[in-house]
């Protein structure tokens, strides 16, 4: 499977092929455990925080609601606001966690086995109904927890910057242009994203090869909002 992925990416994109050759084998590791509720709860508590602070607050959250283990939906739903505030969570994040618990009980956020049987777009549409959960968060779940093979998180800074570095661009690509360019990597866009993350590592180590061919990103027109007539 891995050989087929790398052969495809290298055949449709010379620069991606050079990046693959520079870094080496595709060593993607999927998380084989965890439920969507716990994954999204962790993502919410980590938002807009540095890694050390995020981990500390999440551990206090687990201690307050889960008695040392990952809290259940019911425990989060019934947890007093004062308890969650004492764990270091803001009122906004508490509202997001309560909404996540509510939508899990309603079935909008299903269990992992149910998610496994749903297509990517339906999962994105369902989970982004939760307050504070955006497309990027769901894409990370699709990639690392569900192991979906054709996800290109164009809003991810590391993916965009890795593309800029590996393809010798002066400016950061727009999300629309990167999405359009990345269509050639289908149906293995997850692997392409993985190598773009690795491009940042190679650049820091001084081992990123120069692009073997210049590219011109597709021009993607942005929709202009029409002004309301007076």
Active site residues: 156
- Can you state the angle between helices 120-127 and 135-144, rounded to 10 degrees? 130
What is the dihedral sign for C-alpha 86, 92, 95, 100?
negative
Sort residue 214 into left (φ over 0), alpha (ψ -120 to 50) or beta: beta
DSSP 71: P
Nearest-angstrom CA–CA distance, 54 and 219: 38
Q: Phi then psi for 214, rounded to 5 degrees?
A: -75, 145
Nearest-angstrom CA–CA distance, 209 and 196: 13
Please, what is the end-to-end C-alpha distance for the chain in angstroms? 59
Nearest-angstrom CA–CA distance, 41 and 58: 9
Nearest-angstrom CA–CA distance, 128 and 131: 7
What is the dihedral sign for C-alpha 188, 141, 113, 69?
positive
CB atoms inside a 10 Å sphere around CB 221? 6
């Amino acid at each position: 499977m891995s050989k087929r992925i790398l052969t495809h990416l290298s055949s449709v994109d010379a620069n991606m092929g050079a990046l693959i050759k520079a870094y080496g084998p595709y060593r993607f590791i999927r998380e084989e455990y965890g439920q969507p509720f716990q994954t999204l709860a962790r993502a919410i508590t980590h938002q807009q925080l540095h890694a050390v602070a995020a981990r500390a607050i999440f551990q206090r959250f687990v201690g307050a609601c889960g008695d040392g283990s990952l809290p259940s939906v019911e425990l989060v739903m019934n947890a007093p606001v004062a308890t969650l505030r004492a764990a270091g969570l803001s009122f906004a994040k508490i509202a997001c966690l309560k909404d996540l618990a509510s939508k899990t009980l309603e079935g909008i956020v299903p269990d992992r086995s149910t998610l496994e049987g749903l297509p990517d777009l339906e999962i994105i549409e369902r989970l982004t109904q939760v307050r504070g959960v955006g497309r990027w968060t769901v894409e990370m779940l699709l990639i690392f927890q569900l192991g979906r093979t054709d996800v290109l998180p164009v809003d991810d800074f590391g993916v965009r910057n890795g593309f800029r570095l590996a393809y010798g661009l002066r400016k950061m690509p727009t999300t629309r242009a990167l999405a359009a360019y990345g269509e050639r990597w289908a149906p293995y866009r997850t692997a392409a994203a993985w190598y773009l993350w690795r491009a940042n590592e190679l650049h820091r180590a001084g081992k990123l090869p120069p692009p073997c061919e210049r590219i011109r990103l597709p021009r993607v027109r942005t929709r202009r909002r029409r002004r309301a007539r007076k």
